Structure 1
Amino acid sequence: MKKLSFLSVLLIIVFLASACTGAADQPEKAAPKKPIVKTAATTAEGMATEGPGKYAGDKYDETKVQQELKKWPKNLTADQVYTRLVWLLAEDYKPIIKEAKAYKPSFALSKLGNFDPNRQQGDGKNEKKVKKKNIVILIDSSGSMAGKVNGNTKMEEAKQAVKEFAKSLEGDVRISIRAYGHKGSNQPKDKAISCASTEELYPLSTYQEDKFTKVVNSLKPSGWTPLAAAIRGAGQDLQAAHPDEENVVYVVSDGIESCGGDPVKEAKALHQSKVKAVINIIGFDLDDKSQKALEQVAKAGGGEFTNASSGEELRDGFDIWTYIGRVNELNWWSIDNINRLFWERQRAYEYIWDLLGSAVDPGKIGSLSDTEYEHMTAAVQFLVDQKIIPETMGGYDGAVTKKLDKRREKLKEYQAKLQDQKMKEIDDAYNRIMNLLDKIKERENAKAETYMP
């Protein structure tokens, strides 16, 4: 009996130990997680971008919202109540803001066509045939073109301007690309190689976008500036041109000759040659010395000089020459553009007003803000009625009500600031194109006066 009793006790001890060990090995059940309520934003931009809440937009259901509100504890502070309201009911302004910020206003002049400036409108008998036009573009590929203007390299801006210009050409036009200073480097050891580098990379022919774009994109800022040799090379490119054809050379450069050549002499020789080419120069981000030197080159070449300090002005420089020489059509073309651009700007205004509101319309963002305010104030009134928060907190002049009013005010401030920014962008783009139109008219009138008896 003693033996059995001892064994029984031993078994009981082992059983209890196993049971305890098994219980210890069992993982404790995790307590249910409480929803994390982030502190609400205090800045206007933060308020505009912190949503959406759980019941924003189409998800809003007053019954469900009230069921949530009934679960709130009765000891919340005004800040905690406000934060929970944002978590539940803040609207989603981000898609509207994103659309507004992404909108980039753009205005362009209509194309005038490749008209002969000597052609008399309406006189079919005496109308002259439109001249075939040959264009050679000389692109400065010296190392200084790696310098930056408004965040982009001068070479990147120049290439973009050249591509846009070529794509805009109309009529019977052949075009050529010649680079200079594109070999070697701008170090003394490579001067001889670089100064000897000028090459026609896109032979004079009709514009083929893929081929032309590939050639222009291949250019990189490299060496010195053999401008004189490049102008002489342009003459070689135009050797096959007929004397009756219109031959124009455009030079895009950010500096003066650095290889010992005489670009003024070469420009004069090309202008007085059998092809009678006109050399126009678009200087880019020039110092005073370079500007004066390139002005002399343009004058010797019978052309015009344009100074550009930004990528936009560089493109304008090309645009001016796209329209010059068409005095008979210019006035009607100008009036048509003024009217069209006015209404295009009006449509741009209306697009932004629809998103961000105007003096007579709250816009999409304003309507959303009004809806949010309505939902939040209704929730506060429910909390007061249910005695979850006191009247002093949620009443007309209560702490939570003041926070909702402040939120609405800040959202309107953000809305107005963004609207002002976008309206300024529209006006800046519109004024730029109108200034370009004025420059074209001024230059055309100056040319017309030159040829008047």
Structure 2
Amino acid sequence: MYRSLVAILFVLVLVLFGCSKDDSNDVSGGEGNEREEKTAMTEEKKEEQSEPEAVQVMEELESIVLPETREEMKDQLGGLLVNDVSLENELELDMDAFLQEIDEELREQLVTLTTVVEDPFELEKGLAFLLGTANYKEVLEQAEEFEPDFEEPYLPYPGKTKEEIELEPEAGKAIILLDASSSMLLSVDGEVKMDIAKDAVKRFADVIGQDNEVSLVVYGHQGSESSADKELSCNGIEKIYEMGAYNKDNFEASLSTFESKGWTPLAGAIHKAAEMSTNVDGAITLYIVSDGVETCDGDPVHAAENFVEQNEHRSVNIIGFDVDQDAEEQLKNVSEAGNGEYYSADDATELKQTIEYEWLPSRIDLAWAFTKAPGPWEILDEREKYDTDHQKIKTIIDKERERYDYALHIIREKELILDDKRGVLQDLISERYGARVDEWRNIRSDKIEEIDEVANEIKERVNEWTEEMKKRKDERGDVW
């Protein structure tokens, strides 16, 4: 449709050029007759246009929708003179320079348009055809797709009994040993096991780090599973988070420093934990997350025995993640030798639940549980993030209006239509601009409401969890 209109307008420009040459010598200079002469010239030019061409132009303009709602704005096609201006370019566009660049062609097109069309409403459509932005759709969709990025609160639902808690060693130091051998590259329910394990360990550290110093040791993350790399892989046991107070950001960053690769030196990893604990007299607990048996010729059962015989307050707890029967038997033996517990987890949900089983929050933790939900500053931050995209819509609306105003300036300067009709056209453009700005404000209101709803939903979950934990502590008889 637009291409055919372009062709018609181009033909009309050529016709007008010829007509203007013929008429140039017939214009008288009397000031009082200027309006009448212009009107007469316009009528003469109209008569010289072929009636089918004029009808066709009117039909094409009739099909143009002047957008006010967001859906209508999305459907707007780019104007003839701005269609190749991308969103990024339009946002950065120097309008003064751009308008000077298209000035000559715009003047020609406006002469043609006003010769064929007199009705202000149809003229407004013609301006949209020439200068309407092509970027409403992209910028509106960017804003609509924004989702608030509140941190998901960790709300575990443990199930350990009072008797089990009384048998636990005193809080002290915790060493997490994470298996990063090549088997952790396999998938469980469509997710990579290593990704599941990292997420679970992250949550676990967030829990035990409240009452313990924490360290993270990873093994099986060097070399490869080939025989040529066996020695490298079996010796590649690395402490990636030093024993000390738990720092959420630093701990999570350490989990991003390695990937699954090689063999499984489970015994060597336990020996590493023993070396780290040589001069420590208090309670030390190992938490091992593994999906397979020792493959580096070590004896993890003997290593666990040596670890706990040095101190009665030590234990080795193991979570077997998606293990086969042989692996489960070996890992159970290791946990027994280490005076600890063995837990089995076959998928991501079970692994998460197994880790949650270890802990109930203290009364003090519950008193501060509200901080797990988004606070006023976090909500404000998400609103400001959204406004970055939202403001782009207003920028596009304003720049489109600048182009329309420039076209009105040319129409007034060249007296292409009568003043009363130009006034109506200007009013129409202003009203349409106001409607788009109103829609812009409505879009923001909807998105702010959405952000607040997400924040409130998280708050409700935190409150429900807090009440449930208080109830469980009351049932368990916990004072603190």
Provide the TM-score with structure 2 as the length reference. 0.47
Provide the TM-score with structure 1 as the length reference. 0.49
Which one has a larger percent helix, Structure 1 or Structure 2?
2
